[in-house]
Amino acid sequence: MNLPKRSLSLNIALTSICAGLYAVGSFITATIPSPWGAGQFRPAVFIPSLFAVLAGPFPAGIGAALGTLIADSVKYGRIYEGSLLAAVPGNFLGFYLFGYITKKFTWGRFVIAANLTLTLANFIVAVLYVTIFKIFYLADPKYLAFSSQALIVYIIGLTIWWFVTMLPFVLLVTPLLIRATSSAFPSLVPEDVRTNSLKNELPQRTFSLALLIPGIIMVLTGLIITLTPLRSQMITFFKEPTTILVEGMFYVSGVVLTVLGLLVRTRKILKIF
């Protein structure tokens, strides 16, 4: 990033703003649960993604970690242990990585960062939430009764649900905010970010494939569950109502991502930029 070295006070201010905005944005959708009975719908991930690009790894990572802890703690009325043990480390590592990858900013790096960060961070949160919080900390009978196979399915399913519900917001909302900030406050934006965001068009094919490929994978995964013995195994582990919700999750999210990818390909969405 081609900006003068920021002072400690400015870094603290940026981290605080990131944490505050992310906490508010996360809390707004805190009551919308996942079909797995754990986790929530969180489109507010575009906020730390924006700070990762504009402010760098530490303000984004620490801001995301503090923001998620604040939102979860307000929701539960106490310092929420599940957030502290799972969401805080996952958010920090994920958005620190996002900022690190986009230090030398291009739109291609941005797409790579979005996909890699959401996959890795959500997987870390899912693993820590299920194993450390639910099994070791709470000794939750429901999770203790799961076989190792069921736990793997649960962790992967939770990771995928978070990924597919977050990806469109990071890929479609964050670039709009990057460009708006670069135009309105150019002195606050790193030179390479400002140059790429204002002078270079969004790579239509790259953004389209970043949505299409996960979308097609989601639909295929839904078909695998529906048409193979995996469905009966999931009913054994999670009962039929949950299995139906999970099937629907894969089909709906897959179709939505695929349609968004096609719209990007035809420039109908990218026109807003």
Sequence-distant (6+) residues with CB within 8 A of 192 are 1, 2, 104, 105, 106
Instruction: Establish if 165 belongs to a structural domain.
Output: yes
Regarding whether 61 and 124 lie in a shared domain, the answer is yes
Regarding whether 155 and 143 lie in a shared domain, the answer is yes
Regarding whether 214 and 196 lie in a shared domain, the answer is no
* Residues facing residue 40 across a β-bridge: 33
pLDDT band for position 1 (cuts 50, 70, 90): very low
pLDDT band for position 269 (cuts 50, 70, 90): low
Instruction: Establish if 2 belongs to a structural domain.
Output: no
Instruction: Give me the chain's average pLDDT, please.
Output: 88
Q: Which residue is it, tokens 């429901």?
A: 142
Measured distance CA(109)–CA(121) in Å, rounded: 17
Regarding whether 174 and 75 lie in a shared domain, the answer is yes
Instruction: Establish if 4 belongs to a structural domain.
Output: no
DSSP-derived secondary structure for 23-68: HHHHHHTTT-B-TTSSSB--GGGHHHHHHHHHH-HHHHHHHHHHHH
Regarding whether 266 and 155 lie in a shared domain, the answer is no
Domain that holds residue 216: 203-273
pTM listed for this prediction: 0.86
Regarding whether 69 and 41 lie in a shared domain, the answer is yes
Instruction: Establish if 86 belongs to a structural domain.
Output: yes
Q: What is the mean pLDDT of residues 181-193?
A: 86
Which tokens is 195 given? 């140059």
Instruction: Establish if 88 belongs to a structural domain.
Output: yes
Which tokens is 146 given? 């799961």
Buried b (16+ CB within 10 A) or exposed e, 146-155: beeebbebbb
What distance lies between CA 130 and its chain's CA centroid?
18
| Number of domains forming the structure of the chain | 2
Q: Which residue has the higher pLDDT, 35 or 62?
A: 62
Regarding whether 28 and 153 lie in a shared domain, the answer is yes
Given 136, 169, 200, the domain boundary residue is 200
Given 200, 222, 256, the domain boundary residue is 200
Measured distance CA(146)–CA(118) in Å, rounded: 26
Given 200, 234, 250, the domain boundary residue is 200
Regarding whether 233 and 264 lie in a shared domain, the answer is yes
* Residues facing residue 33 across a β-bridge: 40
Q: Which residue is it, tokens 């990858």?
A: 101
